[in-house]
Amino acid sequence: MEDNNEVIIKDENGEIKYNKMKICANAITLAAGIVISVMVLVALYVVIKPDLSLSGLKGTFTQEQIDRLSNAIGIINNDFLYDYDSEKLLDGAIDGMVSSLDNQFTYYEDEEEYLESENSGSKSTYNGIGVHVVYDPKYDAIRVLGVMPDSPAQEAGIKAGDIITKVDDMDISIDTYIKATDAIKGEENTTVKLKVTRGNETLNYEIVRQKLTEHNVTTDVIDGIGYMRVYSFDNGIYDQFKTEYEKLRAQGIKGLVIDLRNNPGGIVNDTVEILDLLLPKCEVLRLVDKNNKTQIISTRDDKEIDIPLTILVNENSASASEILASAIKDYNKGTVIGTKTFGKGVVQYVERIPNHGAITLVHAQYFTPSGVVIQDNGIEPNILVELPEEIKNDAYIDYAKDLQLQKAIEVIKEQL
């Protein structure tokens, strides 16, 4: 690849190159406190959509509705006994409108919240407990997708698949999800309380936040076959992946296993660049908005992996993980092994309200090269392999018990 700062998108008018356009696909990464990697919620997220022209109140509301809003403001202004902050009033109004859309991937952040989340996505060091999470509508609560190695969450016993129903004194719902994930963050050496449901168990944790550095790739060599565990697609993941991949290739590995289990996703730019190491020049992602406008994201060179490849996924593999797995599957470049993935495939962009926060809005959904709708469907593996219920959500599984990894190694050996 000639320029690691570009991702290619095509539409009906031809090819467009964006310099480091920040597109993200992930569930919230609280990878250390909630590192809302900033992308804050999941899926694809184009930071700051340029040149937005707002149509104004009359383009959305009837005159009667505008009059009703004006009347409510007049009542507060004329009759409310106490002083009030008009900025808070306005923030509350915007938050209320966005919340009424009833979509877990659409939300408003005031200026302070926006700046914090924007900065957190570029940091590799932060304070928190080290979990990757997403809102789970089935439970109306927070679902843990993954746990960082050597983190306070892992040491406390939090597992992928856990359902967090309460943070400190806050009950979780679609309305409190963002505030709850923010509440998990905090100063180093302070404590957060979590109420967790795991199967039929209810567990309570008090976890001390720590300063953490996120390393998203670990590697090993098993019987001459390279093994790469990718925890999320954030914090310079392409450079981390490329470095470790080249180290393994220099050792003369005969095949490669990429483990995306419990990986919540991350930045699409980096995911596409990783795919560029593995696939020839091809389409890897198709975005379609409400007006059926289509954008195509592609790899850019013809270099590709020349050894057998397997990809491990499970029900906690989301967004960017699903993009990578689906592209490898669609082009028959490797074998996807494990269980059906999470099913996170909507596109978000962040619309800035100048100096007064931002609205993160669901804008489109994405399709795999073969046309599969990932949202709510997930990616089916080529080979279904279940893990025993008692160990399937463990952060680390001994190789002797890891039937999915054993199968991945077996499939590679059959191709040698």
- pLDDT by residue for the chain (416 residues), tens only, comes to 333 333 333 343 443 333 333 444 555 444 433 333 222 223 333 433 444 443 567 778 888 988 898 899 999 999 999 999 999 898 898 999 998 988 878 889 888 888 877 665 445 577 889 887 878 888 999 988 778 878 899 999 998 889 999 999 999 998 888 889 888 988 899 999 999 999 899 999 999 999 887 778 888 999 999 999 998 888 789 999 999 999 999 999 999 999 999 898 888 889 999 999 999 999 999 989 889 999 999 999 899 999 999 999 999 999 999 999 999 999 999 999 999 999 988 877 788 888 889 998 888 898 999 999 999 999 999 999 999 988 887 767 889 999 999 999 999 999 99
Question: Other CB atoms closer than 10 Å to residue 115's CB: what's the count?
Answer: 13
Is residue 114 classed as helix, strand or coil in its secondary structure? Answer: helix
Q: How far does CA 189 lie from the centroid of its chain?
A: 27
C-beta of residue 196 within 8 angstroms of C-beta of residue 158: yes
DSSP conformational letter for 36: B
Where do the domains of the chain lie? 216-280+303-344+372-414
| Residue 355: exposure state from Cβ atoms within 10 A (0-12, 13-18, ≥19) | exposed
C-beta of residue 319 within 8 angstroms of C-beta of residue 293: no
| Residue 393: exposure state from Cβ atoms within 10 A (0-12, 13-18, ≥19) | buried
Is residue 312 classed as helix, strand or coil in its secondary structure? Answer: strand
At position 8, the amino acid (one-letter code) is I
Strand partners, 370: none
Task: Return the CATH architecture of domain 216-280+303-344+372-414.
Answer: Alpha-Beta Complex (3.90)
- C-alpha torsion 121→126→128→130, nearest 10: 70
